[in-house]
Chain A
Amino acid sequence: DAKTTQPNSMESNEEEPVHLPCNHSTISGTDYIHWYRQLPSQGPEYVIHGLTSNVNNRMASLAIAEDRKSSTLILHRATLRDAAVYYCILRDGNAGNMLTFGGGTRLMVKP
């Protein structure tokens, strides 16, 4: 599986934007970039995914570098409820739906 590298932790102030980086320099052409987040003592929840183009949804935006070797998850206005571990995951589009979780980034939001 192609691997991702994320900072262990990040801090943000409430109501400010947050940019969570992810490096995936060994990404292949068929790999989709997925982001999930896990709130304390809960199962992960889907945030967003993309292949080549930037993506927006009600939760966040995903900015994908032109060479696809990195991506950034953008939370436009962080709230205290956004404090979670954010996982950047590469999924091979030819290999089904299996997800391999890495270490993730623990986001702390300060009031």
Chain B
Amino acid sequence: GAVVSQHPSRVICKSGTSVKIECRSLDFQATTMFWYRQFPKQSLMLMATSNEGSKATYEQGVEKDKFLINHASLTLSTLTVTSAHPEDSSFYICSAVVGTSVFNEQFFGPGTRLTVL
């Protein structure tokens, strides 16, 4: 199957700093990428949908000015957590979709564990 990578795999930062997480599709071009957040012992919560070359669509309750998403190419999307606080500590997961047919499998990245001190 297709491979999606995330960098970094884990990051620890101080409160008030910004953190950038990269999501790359390694062997395919992704028309759409999704960003999820997962708190301990909970399920994945969709944060936003990112289409190459256009603005991301955020889910209700997700602050677009805090979680900046850039999908500048068909193989790279970035999520920047601005002015991070301890409550932003979570497991951030991206996924990538290829194609525009009825069903396109989502390929998930390995996740990035963010800890804000």
The reply to whether chain A is a binding partner of chain B is: yes
A interface residues, Cβ below 8 angstroms from B: 32, 36, 38, 41-46, 49, 87, 93, 96-104
Structural contact, A97 and B111, CB atoms closer than 8 A: no
**B43, closest chain A residue (CB):** A101
Q: Which residues of B contact A87 (CB under 8 A)?
A: 43
**B107, closest chain A residue (CB):** A46
B interface residues, Cβ below 8 angstroms from A: 1, 4, 6, 32, 34, 36, 43-46, 49, 91, 93-95, 97, 102-111, 113
Measured in the bound complex, the distance between the Cα atoms of B49 and A45 in whole Å is 19
Q: Smallest Cβ distance from B113 to chain A, in angstroms?
A: 8
Structural contact, A43 and B32, CB atoms closer than 8 A: no
Q: Which residues of A contact B107 (CB under 8 A)?
A: 46
Q: Smallest Cβ distance from B102 to chain A, in angstroms?
A: 6
